[in-house]
Amino acid sequence: MSSPLTPDICIIGGGSGGLSVAAAAASFGVDVVLVEMGKMGGDCLNYGCVPSKAMIAAGKHAHAIREAPSFGVTAGEAKVNFGKVHDHIHSVIGAIAPNDSAERFRAMGVNVIEAEARFVDKATLMAGKTEIRARRYVVATGSTALVPPIPGLDTVDYLTNETLFDRTRATRHLIIIGGGPIGMEMAQAHRRLGAEVTVLEGARALGKDDPELAAIVLENIRAEGVTIHEGSKVTSVEKRGKTGVRVHYESDAGEAFVDGSDVLVAVGRLANVEGLGLDAAGVEHDRRGIKVGANLRSSNKRIYAIGDVAGGLQFTHVAGYHAGLVVQQILFRVPAKENRDIIPWATYTDPELAHVGLSEEEAGKRHGGRISILRWPYAENDRAQAERKTTGLIKLVVDRKARILGVSIAGAGAGEMINMWALAVSKGLTLKDVRGYVPPYPTMAEIGKRAAVSYYIPMTRKPYVRWIVRFLRRFG
């Protein structure tokens, strides 16, 4: 057997987080080994963010054709070729894939080993037949779709995000189990591409977002023809005929069922911890992932965990954020801690839904109710009126000193708009800072400044302030 590899860093997982650590470390000339048993780029590139947004884009084009007459443009009936939609999705993946390829990272100086990784003790990892004894390890294995133990589900060809985008034929009636971001994005996209869609959600659809803003999004999706049953627990699944499926569920209204052609399971994610030999490595973990501290270090001081497998927020940009924190600690010995309060997220429905910072409820609890809530609707924005995108609003949560604690947006471009507010929250900016910047006209982002300025409107009515204004007028 050849001598073991002894790199400075060994990364397990070639998804967004792992690749970010590898690229950063290699750029400083650090000896890095990256172990990946599947596709480079991970879930985001191959099964998640990229293909889903490509499908959403196709749905938007179909929807734009249907909306064209309201702008005085007649484009005819939208015709969807699902085979070409499939080709569009995979051409997007293909365009991005070279950036994440093993060849590119080898050219950077990263030793990429395409094999299964397993710890055999607290200091040693086996990658296939290659023994690795690294100074530090970074586990970045991500997550996979959670498939709940629903009776009968294993008797049908159910879909998850890992199989949904391989389809080349149109779906007649898609039944989606789960009303979270993935479920609602795919519900609207498939509806716009011509499918009948039913969503079954056990609790509240888009339940992790602000209820006020989530309601705006759900109302719009329902208006497009998607059936959404909230508070509906799926009890069993069975085949119906040669190609159909029947899903049974129960709610406060009693037991019911829905028949469809396909079923998509979108009830959450499961951290990829199986088969890694974490017990042998002395790493504490459970089904939610590897247990880490705020510094992302596990119970084994040699081993860090980042991204979905770290058991926290499951977003691609979180994995990238984690990567930076880990690189800072491993390469420069500078302490770093995760701050989840500054993490934004967006759901790419239409209208979009985005958030950063504390929710109204969270802020109320932390600040003893001493907060202010500011809103401004899209309907009072000139650009939104011009584009007929007047559905939605921005909601700001601020403390007694006007410091911005959290922001939620439901409306067109919310995912892009939240960027500025993510910066504001991370830097502890106040409404005075926002009041001082000049947005170009006409842009939808103006709604943020309008909401911020509304905070100061009550001051104009105060007798003392008005007295000062009258007094100063005496001086010309």
Every domain of the chain with CATH number 3.50.50.60 lies at: 9-40+101-145+270-338, 153-268
Q: Is 459 annotated as a binding residue?
A: no
Give the pLDDT confidence of 20-44 residue by residue, as tens digits.
Answer: 999 999 999 999 999 999 999 999 9
Instruction: Read off the pTM.
Output: 0.95
pLDDT in tens, 132-162: 999 999 999 999 999 999 999 999 999 999 9
The CATH H-level superfamily of 153-268 is FAD/NAD(P)-binding domain (3.50.50.60)
Q: How far is 258 from 174, CA to CA, in rounded Å?
A: 10
181 is in an annotated binding site: yes
293 is in an annotated binding site: no
Give ranges for CATH 3.30.390.30 in the chain: 342-461
For residue 476, is pLDDT > 80? no
DSSP-derived secondary structure for 208-255 = TS-HHHHHHHHHHHHHTT-EEE-S-EEEEEEEETTTEEEEEEEETTEE
pLDDT band at 457 (very low <50, low <70, confident <90, very high): confident
What CATH number was assigned to the domain covering residues 9-40+101-145+270-338?
Answer: 3.50.50.60
Segment 356-364 mean pLDDT: 96
Helices 211-223 + 181-192 axis angle, to 10: 20
Class of domain 342-461: alpha beta
Element (H, E) at 451: helix 446-454
pLDDT at 261: 97
178 annotated among ligand-binding-site residues: yes
Count of beta carbons in the 10 Å neighbourhood of residue 3: 7
Chain Cα centroid distance, residue 323: 17
Q: Is 442 annotated as a binding residue?
A: no
What's residue 460's pLDDT?
Answer: 83
Q: Is 184 among the annotated ligand-binding positions?
A: yes
Nearest to 185 by CA among 308, 316, 59: 59
Distance between CA atoms of residues 374 and 265, nearest Å: 37
308 is in an annotated binding site: yes
Percent of the chain's residues with pLDDT above 70: 100
CA distance readout (Å), 311 to 287, 291, 302: 9, 7, 18
180 is an annotated ligand-binding site residue: yes
215-246 tens-digit pLDDT: 999 999 999 999 999 999 999 999 998 889 99
Overall average pLDDT of the 80-88 stretch: 97
Q: Any binding-site annotation on 142?
A: yes
Q: Confirm whether residue 399 is marked as ligand binding.
A: no
182 is in an annotated binding site: yes
Q: Which of 48-57, 92-101, 390-399, 455-464 has the lowest mean pLDDT?
A: 455-464
